[in-house]
């Protein structure tokens, strides 16, 4: 009986998926995403996960109703029972802190008014009442306040595994690492679709977050197209090279990118403490013949390989502070940019957060002279893994292409070229990940949530 119940829930999930999925906008066959299809069922076959928490919460939070709510005093927890018989639990202190009444939570600014100074840790409910046909619960508190909690709001914020995972995925989508095989299946989208269609835009932003690399085609081969696309996504993040920049063979260049030399695999501008999150490179003209191809590597995949094969060397690149610096003149203004970080940065959970490989602006290493050789050895080994053919994608941008990459993760490089075989002109700009993810969340809320 219980198994039938789970399967019926899972079928509910699978029915929802096609309506929610923006995957039809992709020519590639890479996986698609929606708020309900990750981790619940596989495409086509409908293989069902046995995780009760994952199956149960496929119910839309906006339509749930509460059948009852009781105190569990021994654990200072309120247990809410939903109409379908499932339950969730909420600690007293958390509920009091998150009261949704207009005296505690401002309804239009969506901000907490209640201050911690007025907060009692020993708070407990004196009454609990389900009202409005199960759409809201009212809790009388021992401080005399009457708290109010919409059912849909509570359901979205439940402490169960599925809701925790959904919220984590809303904050930051899980990345899918890749090697050279991605060149057969590079995520692609057309520029006109991105400008006109919100589903296409959402799919593009999701792919950018998950894969870290998307190719946009059919862009007019003229300047200011990055600006046009930015108006749909996020403002261009200005750096000391300007709001947008043109990459071509300049006379008297202030950056090696503005020459015909090859560029090794790198992330842009680790000399900035706020390194750009996303880079766009729009190809306006390309040289004929050999050279000028772009190279791309998923540095997180390479770093994971490096970590498993050479853990001590990996740790050396994590722990050693390196100064990245850049000096020059742009628009008549001298600049001297410098930032101290490490080649591989981890987050608080020990996951790789970013890779700072940049031969152009790598400067000083803060090490005792006797330790320098070992650090170079580690960098050399990591560089070999990054440049291994199994990890590198080569793609020569055509006029009308925009390559968009996650600059925290995907390294890019360029083969040298002969500037006498035509003009190679790219226009680039950067976006902040905060703004890109904001746009993705807003689109998800508008398009996916009923
Ligand atoms: Zn309140």
255 plus 122 within the same structural domain: no
72 plus 215 within the same structural domain: no
For the entire predicted model, the pTM comes to 0.82
**What phi-psi label fits residue 423: left (phi over 0), alpha (psi between -120 and 50 degrees) or beta?**
beta
Position 36 in a domain: yes
Position 164 in a domain: no
103 plus 77 within the same structural domain: yes
* Cβ partners under 8 Å of residue 115, min gap 6: none
Position 170 in a domain: no
Centroid of ligand 1 to alpha carbon of 84 (angstroms): 28
**The predicted structure's pLDDT at residue 10:** 35
For 135, the 3-state DSSP assignment is coil
**The predicted structure's pLDDT at residue 437:** 97
Centroid of ligand 1 to alpha carbon of 116 (angstroms): 13
20 plus 133 within the same structural domain: no
Position 212 in a domain: yes
152 plus 213 within the same structural domain: no
- What is the C-alpha R_g of the chain? 26
Domain boundary (99, 133, 159) is at 159
442 plus 404 within the same structural domain: yes
Domain boundary (129, 159, 189) is at 159
68 plus 102 within the same structural domain: yes
CB 436 within 8 A of CB 233: yes
Continuous segment of H or E residues that includes residue 265: strand 263-266
Centroid of ligand 1 to alpha carbon of 148 (angstroms): 6
Which pLDDT tens digits describe the chain residue by residue (450 residues)? 333 433 333 333 322 222 334 444 433 333 333 333 333 222 222 222 333 333 444 556 778 999 999 999 889 999 999 999 999 999 999 999 999 999 999 989 989 988 888 889 999 999 999 999 999 999 999 999 999 999 999 999 999 999 999 999 999 999 999 999 999 989 999 999 999 999 999 999 999 999 999 999 999 999 999 999 999 999 998 888 888 888 776 666 666 665 666 778 999 999 999 999 999 999 998 887 777 789 999 999 999 999 999 999 999 999 999 999 999 888 888 999 999 999 999 999 999 999 999 988 899 999 999 999 999 999 999 999 999 999 999 999 999 999 999 999 999 998 776 666 677 888 999 999 999 999 999 999 999 865
Domain boundary (98, 129, 159) is at 159
Position 240 in a domain: yes
Centroid of ligand 1 to alpha carbon of 124 (angstroms): 14
355 plus 418 within the same structural domain: yes
Position 337 in a domain: yes
Compute the distance between CA of residue 265 and CA of residue 251 in angstroms, rounded to an integer: 24
Centroid of ligand 1 to alpha carbon of 103 (angstroms): 5
Position 126 in a domain: yes
354 plus 378 within the same structural domain: yes
Compute the distance between CA of residue 162 and CA of residue 80 in angstroms, rounded to an integer: 16
CATH of the domain at 237: 3.60.130.10
Q: What is the number of structural domains in the chain?
A: 3
CB 76 within 8 A of CB 142: no
Centroid of ligand 1 to alpha carbon of 119 (angstroms): 11
CB 33 within 8 A of CB 20: no
Position 166 in a domain: no
**Rounded-to-5 percentages of helix, strand, coil across the chain:** 35, 30, 40
**The predicted structure's pLDDT at residue 285:** 87
**The predicted structure's pLDDT at residue 250:** 62
Centroid of ligand 1 to alpha carbon of 141 (angstroms): 9
145 plus 182 within the same structural domain: no
Centroid of ligand 1 to alpha carbon of 23 (angstroms): 42
Centroid of ligand 1 to alpha carbon of 99 (angstroms): 5
CATH of the domain at 69: 3.30.2020.30
Q: Which two tokens stand for residue 193?
A: 């679709």
Domain of residue 111 covers 61-159
Which residue's structure tokens are 């292409």? 401
6 plus 67 within the same structural domain: no
CB 364 within 8 A of CB 267: no
Compute the distance between CA of residue 439 and CA of residue 42 in angstroms, rounded to an integer: 27
12 plus 131 within the same structural domain: no
Q: What angle do CA 17, 22, 26 make, to 5 degrees?
A: 125
């Amino acid at each position: 009986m219980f198994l039938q119940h789970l399967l019926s829930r899972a079928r509910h999930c699978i029915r929802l998926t096609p309506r929610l999925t923006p995957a039809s906008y992709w020519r590639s066959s890479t996986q698609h995403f929606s708020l309900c299809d990750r981790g619940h069922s596989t495409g086509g076959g409908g293989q069902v996960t046995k995780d009760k928490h994952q199956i149960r919460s496929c119910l839309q939070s906006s339509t749930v109703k509460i059948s009852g709510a009781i105190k569990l005093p021994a654990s200072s927890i309120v247990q809410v029972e939903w109409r379908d018989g499932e339950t969730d639990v909420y600690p007293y202190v958390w509920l009091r802190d998150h009261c949704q009444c207009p005296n505690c939570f401002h309804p239009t600014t969506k901000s907490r008014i209640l201050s911690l100074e007025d907060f009692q840790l020993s708070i407990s409910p004196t009454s609990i009442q389900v009202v409005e046909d199960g759409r809201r619960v009212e809790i009388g508190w021992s401080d005399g306040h009457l708290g109010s909690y919409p059912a849909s709001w509570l359901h979205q914020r439940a402490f169960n595994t599925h809701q925790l995972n959904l919220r984590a995925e809303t904050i930051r989508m899980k990345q899918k690492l890749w090697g050279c095989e991605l060149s057969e299946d590079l995520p692609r989208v057309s520029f006109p679709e991105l400008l006109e269609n919100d589903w296409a835009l959402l799919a593009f932003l999701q792919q950018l977050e998950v894969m870290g690399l998307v190719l946009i085609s059919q862009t007019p081969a003229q300047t200011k197209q990055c600006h046009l696309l930015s108006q749909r996504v996020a403002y261009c993040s200005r750096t000391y090279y300007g709001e947008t920049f043109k990459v071509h063979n300049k006379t008297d260049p202030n950056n090696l990118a503005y020459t015909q030399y090859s560029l090794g695999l790198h992330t842009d501008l680790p000399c900035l403490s706020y390194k750009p999150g996303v880079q766009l490179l729009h190809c306006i003209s390309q040289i004929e013949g050999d050279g000028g191809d772009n190279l791309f590597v998923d540095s997180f995949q390479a770093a994971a390989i490096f970590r498993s094969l050479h853990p001590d060397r990996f740790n050396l690149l994590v722990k050693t502070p390196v100064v990245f610096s850049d000096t020059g003149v742009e628009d008549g203004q001298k600049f001297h940019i410098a930032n101290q970080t490490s080649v591989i940065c981890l987050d608080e959970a020990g996951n790789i957060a970013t890779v700072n490989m940049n031969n152009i602006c790598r400067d000083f290493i803060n090490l005792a002279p006797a330790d320098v050789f070992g650090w170079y050895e580690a960098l050399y080994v990591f560089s070999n893994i990054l440049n291994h053919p199994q990890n590198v994608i080569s793609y020569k941008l055509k006029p009308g292409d925009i390559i968009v990459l996650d600059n925290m993760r995907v390294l890019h490089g360029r083969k040298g070229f002969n500037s006498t075989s035509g003009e190679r002109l790219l226009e680039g700009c950067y976006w902040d990940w905060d703004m890109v993810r904001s746009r993705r969340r807003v689109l998800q809320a508008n398009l996916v949530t009923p």
